[in-house]
Structure 1
């Protein structure tokens, strides 16, 4: 098969690759794909030929990813997720930055727009400004004294295997005050929860965390969605501005720190005004005069 034919069925080959990589079982992958054993084997062989590297080894009828296969998997998942989201007009770039707009059943939706870090300085965002200043002064060191006063507002994650796990929830953080004290305590040690947007949205959002882990830098997003709230667990609209900061644990391993401020003051292109204003009154943290000093 020549290069043009390979490109024409690229998505089919990537689905075969990612499904087999997840199941490591040919029969199960065939069932999930609604395909045939011959087709899945052919797709893997075509990918290996095109890339010039082996993606799987077969030992005692058990598939295992090679080093090249493991290194290729995240890119393959990203291509599929971005391709599907782009095709449905759910994901695009605005001035080179991420924009997501997904609608789901029952009025659920997820809207995100990434903004330049410089907007933290020009918008009314005192807590995020303090977070940015403290991060710079601490030089990314999580246990630095400059971050001490901010810790009650932070949520901290560590990557274990392929999962992002919560290791700390500040008692005054947006997460704790939204979900309540029971969730705050039970969140420790758990992986990031799945959202109603399905695997495509999960992959798009996971990529943001992985980019942070690779670059150890900063990311600034405005988000509107619906999340379960309180002990009742009813979904309610929420807006927030999120500053992600790349930090270091004392052992020099990577710590992903999230500083979130609930607010009506968000800018997301295409977000209906009625959605922006639908967050229940009294839940905006900036209206509560949040102070880190």
Structure 2
């Protein structure tokens, strides 16, 4: 089973990065405001491999969401490197980084972030309609059409139990239904990895369990890697690996210790 490994003395090679869906080396983040520096963590190393599921736990304020944002290219590290699908994030332009995120990663947050003016079907279709931008140099790929995307989005919504809610807007859906739609949206581009930041944190226990089961089922069906920040240790124990972020260090935990 993969573990958090010591940072090598030399940089990450392209071959090593390509073995992982996401690889972080020597990752650090310090927030700076005026003369005040607030370090969150430094020197973190992590590999996420194809198809595996990883839970990141830790106390409030430990930096779990910050780490997830760095892994997903939503924030820039103070030190270290992140590779996504073999691409070094710091070497990409903002536009190329966004294109890589859209193609290789899916995101599910504690709040669903569905666009209120669009239907569930339109929300799920949107990331796929935005696809086609190149990650590096070269010409743009042809953007998919609505006719090409709609069957996939419809099938995903049906798979999460929302086949009867395709034309409903987020305000017409329950909390659990909105999160299920967000899960479908995260998977529409068949990403290499889905990153979840407390994706069931706003739901009651029964609904949270249903959404969590759904994410695991889809992970197995699509072989998409899954990295979840969660405070729920019972849920964390069900994933392949559990990592605890504690006092700026990332350590792997035995299931019996979670």
- The TM-score bracket by the shorter chain reads under 0.3
Rg comparison, structure with higher value: 1
Higher helix proportion:
1
TM-score normalised by L of structure 2: 0.26
Q: Bigger relative contact order, structure 1 or 2, given CA contacts below 8 A and separation 6+?
A: 2
